[in-house]
Amino acid sequence: MWEMRGPVIVAPVLEVVVAEQCNLTCRACSHLSPVAPKNFANPVETGRALGVLYTAFHMKVVKLMGGEPLLHPDFAAVVAAIRSAAPAAELHLVTNGHLLSRMDLSEMDGIDQITVSIYASATIARSGRAALEQADRRGIRVVQQAMEQFNESYCEHPHSDPDMTRRIYRACKIAHDWNCFTLRAGFFYKCPQAYALTTVLGSAASGAHADNGVDLTDPAFADPAVLADRLHDYLSADQPLPACRHCLGSSGRAFRHEQLPRRLWRSAQSQAPSGLLT
C-alpha cells in the first residue's frame, strides 16, 4: 500500500512499461499485450518522466514490465535511464524468459533481480534456462514464479450498469492493494489496465489517457507539492476511471492458464460481463 510520508508518497513498487507487445499470447492477459500495438518506452522520455515522478513519489522497487520487456530494441538504454532517475530503487526485470538466451547479459547491468513467469503452456528452452544460470552467476537474483491460473481481465462490452462499474472499482485489489502503479509514455496510472484498455479499445470506449492517468509533463508539476497533491487525489479517488467501464479489476473468474491464437484473442473476451465475473 502507498502512504504519505511528509511531503512525498511512498510505495513499495512502480511498474515501468518497457515494451507493450508480447511474444506469448496468454488468454486474458491483464495488459492486453497479445493485441497491443508495437510501442516501446523511449529511454529519454522514460528517464524524464520518472525523474519528475520521483520528486513526489518514492518506490522501493521499479519493475521493468511488458508485454515482454526484452523485445525492446535498446533495453540497456532504458535500464540506464531508470537507474539514473531512481538511483535508490531496486530494479526487477519481469520476463517470460523466452528471449533471455539471445541477450548479451552485459545489457542486464543495473538489474538486481530477474523474475521469470513460468507457464506450463510455453516452457522455456534449455538455452533460456542456461542464460538464467549465467545471470545468477553474475550476481543477479533469479526468482521463478509458476503461473498456473489467470483471471478474466476485461470485457469487450462495457458494463451496462454503472453500479457494476463502481462495485468492480471499489473491490479492485489491483488499484488499491497490489501496488501495480504504472509509468507509461509520460503518464502515471494506478493500474496497467488504465492505459492498456485505451490503447486497445480506443478512447471512445475507455477514455483518453489524460482521463485515466496523471500527465507528468504538466508544467505545474515542476512543484513537487503540487504533484504530490494530484497523485494523492488520484490514488484515493472513490469514483471509477473511464477505463473501469470495460474492466473486471480483481473480480474476474479464474481459469487454468492457456495460450490463444492472436486472431481469437479478443473474441474470447466478448461474452457478457456477468459471464466473466466470479
Q: How far is the CB of 73 from ligand SF4 (least distance, A)?
A: 29
Q: Which is nearer to ligand SF4, 190 or 230 (CB)?
A: 190
Among 193, 198, 199, 269, binds ligand SF4 (CB under 6 A): 193
Among 22, 36, 62, 191, binds ligand SF4 (CB under 6 A): 191
85 membership: H or E segment, kind and range: helix 75-85
| Stretch near ligand SF4 under the rule CB under 6 A, chosen from 100-108, 109-117, 123-131, 167-175 | 167-175
Q: How far is the CB of 58 from ligand SF4 (least distance, A)?
A: 22
d(CA 192, CA 129): 28
Instruction: Give how many residues touch ligand SF4 by CB under 6 A.
Output: 15
SS3 content of the chain, % helix, strand, coil (to 5): 40, 25, 40
| Stretch near ligand SF4 under the rule CB under 6 A, chosen from 15-23, 31-39, 50-58, 172-180 | 172-180
In degrees and rounded to multiples of 5, residue 221 shows phi and psi of: -80, 5
11 scored as a contact of ligand SF4 (CB under 6 A): no
Q: Which is nearer to ligand SF4, 101 or 203 (CB)?
A: 203
Going from the C-alpha of 57 to that of each of 37, 45, 86, 256, the distances in angstroms are: 29, 17, 10, 36
175 scored as a contact of ligand SF4 (CB under 6 A): yes
d(CA 159, CA 246): 6
Among 249, 252, 273, 277, binds ligand SF4 (CB under 6 A): 249
Q: How far is the CB of 249 from ligand SF4 (least distance, A)?
A: 3
Among 82, 111, 132, 244, binds ligand SF4 (CB under 6 A): 244
Q: For 240, which DSSP code? A: P
168 scored as a contact of ligand SF4 (CB under 6 A): yes
Q: Which is nearer to ligand SF4, 50 or 175 (CB)?
A: 175
Q: What are the grid coordinates assigned to 174, written together?
A: 489491483
Neighbour count for residue 240 (Cβ, 10 Å):
20
| Stretch near ligand SF4 under the rule CB under 6 A, chosen from 92-100, 132-140, 190-198, 225-233 | 190-198
Q: Where are the beta strands (DSSP E) in the chain?
A: 3-5, 8-17, 57-65, 90-95, 113-118, 141-146, 149-151, 182-184, 187-189, 214-215, 254-256
Q: What are the grid coordinates assigned to 158, written together?
A: 462495457
Binding residues (CB under 6 A) for ligand SF4: these are: 168-169, 172, 174-175, 190-191, 193-194, 240-241, 243-244, 247, 249
